[in-house]
Chains A and B, each alone.
Chain A
């Protein structure tokens, strides 16, 4: 079967590899090189000036960069913790064999398949000062106590906009991780819970002593996925703040800052070099986070 084998392999791999190299690998590696240059982008490749790490030094001194990074940090703390807590909670509730479980699963998972743009537009209405549900509900509750609640611009106020953006991300993410954990939990043999029950363990003990440890690998994966998502947030911030990054850039994140610097047509004299530098920083942050979280969540893996 050797005849023509290599020719066949080559012919089948040629186009996918070519496309991938040109449009994925070259850009990825090109970003590293580009981040070391100064380049207005209207000139051709050879007019790019090599500037060494000057772009990175400029980043270090850039207040907006640290502002965006800080926000990513906040998302990084809040998004995984809240999402995983809710997802684990709901998954645990599900394994009790409830009626209508299928209905709930189908409903909870749906936000995950919706377009982020549609979700963000939807939530920009929900957070709307006058017609939005959030203010409507708060207003109704407040008036029950005889108070008055005036229209509050959740997305327009620099103190609340980041929180609102994170809330939307959580809303979309919980269903996915819940389904992930349910799938993982279904692999845990019933005998373990039986034995624990006989030994007198209550639901809480069963959860923390059996479910969580056996689900740990899945939880670790979820943490990495969510950390990566926390470093993205591009669509959420862009649509919910109309591209501005929020009042006084209160919801700006690295991805939106990078877009703004590279394509925003501002007064940046070196859009592509500077933008690439931010992209490279993002890469190293993500790689570093993935490695760190893998390290810190390392446990002796329980085999069963």
Chain B
């Protein structure tokens, strides 16, 4: 079964823990989220830092993560063994992740008021913020029922609710305020219509960061993160 909802919860010592890719959906995409999870310089936070050891084992080889991410990070200006990927600074990253989530949540609540989207986005964000629970889960699901993003895959239709996670990474609102383009922490891009019941949206197989909507709201400029991030790694290899 393919998990469609991003899932996160509070860690024991604060911060957020994100469950990602454990059911094999990373392998279904053309680009594994791990390859492009970015460092703190590239994206606000690196979610794999918040994974447990068991989850890390499930999503991939730790050696690969360390090699790629640490060399990338050293190149970004941190010394070897320093930066957010050391053991000591994992807590700092977790706090940053949490502050990102809270910031996105407050942003979303503000947006919800402005766009008369009601308390639904807030309810959903609240579910993630509080760590969730059965009754909250069911309530949130029912409240966002009918609102989702449809895949462009032929015959595929999977609703993806707007969550604080989606609003965290990169987001752009259309000029008329009816659409939002987001890049999830799991490096999936979505375009959503902020109107209940409207079934539309785009889901792309590669990480595309939304840059700007056109004035008429028909087009969206996006940045290919894959080609933007990769040259650095290749350059280092050449040197």
Q: Do A and B come from one complex?
A: no
Binding site for A on B (CB under 8 A): none
